[in-house]
Chain A
Amino acid sequence: MISVQNLNKSFGATPVLQDISLDIQPGERVVVIGPSGTGKSTLLRCLNFLDTPDSGKITIGDLSVDAAHASRADILGLRRRTGFVFQNYALFANKTARQNITEALVTVKGMSRADADARADTILRETGLEARADAYPASLSGGQQQRVGIGRAMALDAELLLFDEPTSALDPEWVGEVLDLMRKLAESRQTMLIVTHEMQFAREIADRILFMDDGRIAEEGPPADLLDTPRDPRTRAFLRRVG
């Protein structure tokens, strides 16, 4: 069970997240949509403290963290219960595809090198990257890099995977393969919180869609309700714009 209560975050005097509350059930796939600059990415980044929230409470599994008084151990705990997929992939540039997957297994989880390699082989098969296992990120296509990025997050067996616009930086030709991989993950009932502009994808895989505007969750509901019969005028305006 994942729960966010009254999360607030400002950058200087500008409020970015205002009183966000949100529950996610195990196995639930939640998609966040909304105009740029409304705090969607910041919400994800606050859940694992890449950005530090000002106040609120974050619960992931057996760990509850009061954001205003988070200790170093709290922050590590949240990060070790979540996996994060970056818009710009952010693969470790000095590591091969396989090493990107094994790195945290060995360094953070204390897994043996042999077990980590075996886990990486499984993940590389699932992401269709066996042939590129020993390639460095610089020699991989955008789509391949993002699949490694997702594989790296998958390997950690996190209770929640966070996706921050995973296809926004990709050339159109690579978007399909990344969405296909995410679809497979969604079908395995991995708990996911996804920020994306891919509306068709959101409709297919989401159990629930959140529409964010101006640092708040303006409206939420199952894809059919939110995308086809939105109640909030801001949701209607946004959906008209993105077509």
Chain B
Amino acid sequence: MRALDVDYMLGLLPILLGYVPLTLFMAVVGMAFALVLAALMAVERVVRIPVLDIFVRLFISFFRGTPLLVQLFLFYFGLPQMLSFLTTINGVTATIMGLTLHFSAYMAESIRAAILGVDRAQWEASLAVGMTQAQMMRRIILPQAARVAAPTLVNYFIDMVKSTSLAFTLGVTELMGAAQKEAAGSFLYFEAFLVVATIYWIMVEALSFGQRRLETFLNKAHAR
């Protein structure tokens, strides 16, 4: 047993904090794309567009049915062998792609459930005033589904922030990769990864705070 090298940790902290923007960048961009893709797939699953429905179901099945790490390796190491224009894909882009596709499959299912949970009367009222299906979804149904889906979607976002650490397996020097390099020099693995764990933990706590604010905002139409 040895003592924890607190000075080393305090010295490492600012270095590793410098990688937080990259982590957040991958997560935020991945989340933005994933939300749009998931909403589109969820609406498709509810209205069932022939042929397209088969592809959407296949997509969701594949990306929920295989590990994220395997998907990242497929995109980064595998696909460029098959499609030559992908040989220039960098690790950050591949990670964002993988996160987007993987999490959109999960999120599509939560959004679909939330859409189906919106009172039938809301659909009928939208149609009765002459809205098209697209207008009804965009203006009335999806905003109400968002309120129901929000806690689950924030959970996926939290998971996505942490999953950016897999980018390190594609050779990206992000939070995890940087800690790995530092520890390899100092041999203080416990200290290095404890700092990494603390940084992730604080980020997630900040997001949980944001989640409460978001839920209050989305509930404002329902407060009595």
Hey, which bits of chain A sit against chain B, CB under 8 A? 48, 50, 76, 79-80, 82-84, 86, 88, 90-96, 103-104, 107-108, 136-139, 152-153, 156
In this complex, the member of B119, B130, B147, B223 whose beta carbon has the largest number of chain A beta carbons within 10 angstroms is B130
- Cβ–Cβ contact B140 & A104, under 8 A: no
Q: Does B81 contact A (CB under 8 A)?
A: no
Interface string of B84-127 (1 = CB under 8 A from A): 00000000000000000000000000000000000101101111
Q: Does B135 contact A (CB under 8 A)?
A: yes
Distance (whole angstroms) from the CB of B91 to the closest CB of chain A:
41
Known: A94-B143, A138-B221. A79 touches B128 (CB 8 A): yes
Distance (whole angstroms) from the CB of A171 to the closest CB of chain B:
17
Distance (whole angstroms) from the CB of B51 to the closest CB of chain A:
19
Q: Does B32 contact A (CB under 8 A)?
A: no
Jot down 19 A-B pairs with beta carbons below 8 A, ordered by A.
A48-B128, A76-B130, A80-B130, A82-B128, A84-B129, A88-B121, A93-B144, A95-B221, A103-B139, A103-B140, A104-B129, A107-B131, A108-B129, A108-B130, A136-B220, A136-B221, A138-B222, A139-B224, A156-B129
- Cβ–Cβ contact B143 & A50, under 8 A: no
Not counting A92-B122, A104-B129, A136-B221, a sample of 6 additional A-B residue pairs whose C-beta atoms are within 8 angstroms of each other reads A79-B128, A82-B128, A86-B121, A93-B144, A107-B131, A153-B129
- Cβ–Cβ contact B124 & A50, under 8 A: yes
- Cβ–Cβ contact B122 & A93, under 8 A: yes
Hey, which bits of chain B sit against chain A, CB under 8 A? 119, 121-122, 124-132, 135, 139-140, 143-144, 147, 220-224
List chain B residues, Cβ under 8 A from A86. Answer: 121, 124-125, 128
Distance (whole angstroms) from the CB of A5 to the closest CB of chain B:
22
List chain B residues, Cβ under 8 A from A88. Answer: 121
Partner of A138, one of B122, B132, B139, B224: B224
